[in-house]
Structure 1
Amino acid sequence: MKVVYMGTPDFAVGPLKSIIESGHEVKLVVSQPDKKNSRRGNKIVYSPVKQCALDNEIEVFQPNRVSDDESYEYIKSLKPDVIVVCAYGQIVKSNILNLVKFGCINIHASLLPHLRGAAPIHRSIINGDKVTGVTTMQMNEGLDTGDMLLKEEIEIGDDMTVGELHDKMEIIGSKLIVETLNKLEKGEINPKKQDDNLSTYANKITKEDCHIDFSENVKDIYNKIRGLNPFPLSYVNLDEKNIKIYESIIKNELSNEKCGTILSYNKKDKALLVAAKDGIIGIKELKMQGKKKMDAASFYNGNRDIIGKVFN
């Protein structure tokens, strides 16, 4: 099939590569406009998907609004059979959704209708889910409400981070989109409507979401820490400084101290022990504002006076 591919971040690179390698013809890659990176002297930085397209000598199109008349006419002129959308970053309106024979197919990082929305990978771990997956979906104008095409499940390990789950999902999404395109072309897929009564939502991660509140249950704190590692990372405040947390463990112990109190450094677990609502969290890896990431031992050795202080 002739494919127009819409995507922007790392997660969308694997599926694009798989479509290219599958023999389907990628006529055009649509990605978000280039941005300047202030950390690199305001140099223009290409999106991962754009770079992948250029590496494979595929034309790249970067409209400010993909659904405006000019963009619509250009995509139409290429006469694609299908449009594949994966973490593109713009709302795709009805003119584009209804433009081609097989419509717009989205690769969504959850088992729909569970976790519709912007951050399904993060939310699945933060919520403590044991299973998630990838769904290919026929897009409509709703928020991830279109008919489901194919699904594949992924087990979420008890210590899996969002980075690890992201990488697994990219591999499965890459395989699933090619299978979807092949079966669509042969007429071997029966789209299935979603049950809106079973839907849940994965709202965008905010700065407030990343703050650790030690008055919560230890399991919820643990899930939040791994569900935000390696990006955007959970954090606490201490002595008016921001401390980002990468890794933690749950200690099956209780404390009578105020939630957030730094109790001790545990040499056996190599962790700073912190009081929480119903137990103790051990922080194993962290980064203080203005410093490099370090293990808890290194942090403690340089900050011996923290015992008894309270994270807020």
Structure 2
Amino acid sequence: MKKLRTIFMGTPDFAVPCLDMLVREGYPVAAVVTQPDRPKGRGQKLAYSPVKEAALHYNLPILQPDNIKNDEFYNQIAAIQPDIIIVIAFGQLLPQRLLGLPLHGCINVHASLLPKYRGSAPIHWAIINGEPMSGITTMYMDVGMDTGDMIIKAETPILPLDTTGSLHDKLQDLGAAVLADTLQQIAAGNAPRVRQNDVEATYAPLLCRSTERLDWHQPAVAIHNLVRGLNPWPGAYCKYQNKSLKIWQTRVYNESTPCAQPGQVVQLTKEGLVVETGKGIIELLEVQPESKRRMKANDFVCGYSLTTGNMLE
């Protein structure tokens, strides 16, 4: 079966396994489109995106437009005459004229079971909201935010100890496998096209600073899920002695214990400290004081002389 002439559009490491698959399976990748190099780190040196790093490794042509809506970029893509454009976490919405350019359209690999969790942070929000299941959906793109007709969906369970980091890694590999099946079905002319039910749609917006702040009046389970959902980036935090304290790992100690003072340290354990919440109590296992490294919570207890009765804000 003839391999489709492909343009690949993506930016973060989540997209890289799909590009790896295309090269491994012999798809003619005519160009890789990724975001411009950005300043990074303390020195603010320009850094390549993970997708650009992969494209350089494979010696693929690279385009890095500031604006994909201008005529210059459109003409570059039109000259390539792609059979299909594959888009994975690229970072810009595609205009209609670009969506209509390839023979087989533009295909997106999205890290949720659509129509749930449309938007920019589906992995984070699935864990924050305590979902038992996540997955990958491939779809034909339209001008909306993840609203196009679905092609293939594949599920994977969210395990009790999963974080955004661990689920991200599972989904990026699953995404490559689902994309491979999708392309085979499109090339064979038998790919399904299933309209999304907008009534069932939910959204996964970009994270903001207010999302990261722990509210000890929330139930222990909700706090635990927030910590998992913000690990490894950007991290949930509270305040201790007017300084930021990031919380990286927790364990629900009890889901239903009545609590008189949310945020109060009520017990010190071998592994950390136990804190009251709005419903139940939670054990902190790994934390990061302001301007310090990540550490086991029991080291934090010793280093900062915490005792029962201390308050986390």
TM-score, normalised to structure 1, is: 0.97
Query: 1:265 — aligned with what?
Result: 268
Q: Which digits, 9 at most, give the CA deviation of each residue in 1:205-239, with x for residues without a partner? A: 11111111010011111111111111111111111
Query: 2:297 — aligned with what?
Result: 296
The CA deviation at 1:53 is: 0.2
Query: 2:122 — aligned with what?
Result: 120
Query: 1:44 — aligned with what?
Result: 46
CA distance in 2, matches of 1:106, 1:197: 21
The CA deviation at 1:255 is: 5.3
Matched letter for residue 35 of structure 1: R
The CA deviation at 1:91 is: 1.3
1:19 pairs, out of 14, 18, 22, with 22
Matched letter for residue 23 of structure 2: I
Answer yes or no: is the 8 Å Cα contact 2:113–2:135 preserved in 1. yes
Matched letter for residue 22 of structure 2: I
Percentage of pairs with the same residue: 38
Matched letter for residue 237 of structure 2: Y
CA distance in 1, matches of 2:41, 2:51: 20
Matched letter for residue 232 of structure 1: P
Answer yes or no: is the 8 Å Cα contact 2:259–2:280 preserved in 1. no
SS in 1 for 2:98: helix
The CA deviation at 1:306 is: 4.8
Matched letter for residue 199 of structure 1: A
The CA deviation at 1:38 is: 3.9
Q: Which digits, 9 at most, give the CA deviation of each residue in 1:94-114, with x for residues without a partner? A: 011001101110000001111
Query: 1:4 — aligned with what?
Result: 7
SS in 1 for 2:55: helix
The CA deviation at 1:257 is: 3.6
SS in 1 for 2:309: coil
Query: 1:194 — aligned with what?
Result: 196
1:217 pairs, out of 197, 202, 219, with 219
Long gaps (5+) in structure 2: none
Matched letter for residue 226 of structure 1: R
Between stretches 296-305 and 42-51, larger displacement belongs to 296-305
SS in 1 for 2:239: strand
Query: 1:233 — aligned with what?
Result: 235
Query: 1:95 — aligned with what?
Result: 97
2:58 pairs, out of 49, 56, 59, with 56
CA distance in 1, matches of 2:140, 2:66: 24
SS in 2 for 1:225: helix
CA distance in 2, matches of 1:109, 1:38: 27
Matched letter for residue 254 of structure 1: T
CA gap 1:188/1:51 in 2 versus in 1, 3 angstroms: same
Query: 1:146 — aligned with what?
Result: 148
SS in 2 for 1:232: coil
Q: How many pairs are equivalent? A: 309
Q: Which digits, 9 at most, give the CA deviation of each residue in 1:158-205, with x for residues without a partner? A: 121110000000000011111111110110212100011111111111
Query: 1:82 — aligned with what?
Result: 84
TM-score, normalised to structure 2, is: 0.96
Matched letter for residue 281 of structure 2: I
The CA deviation at 1:66 is: 1.3
CA distance in 1, matches of 2:296, 2:260: 24
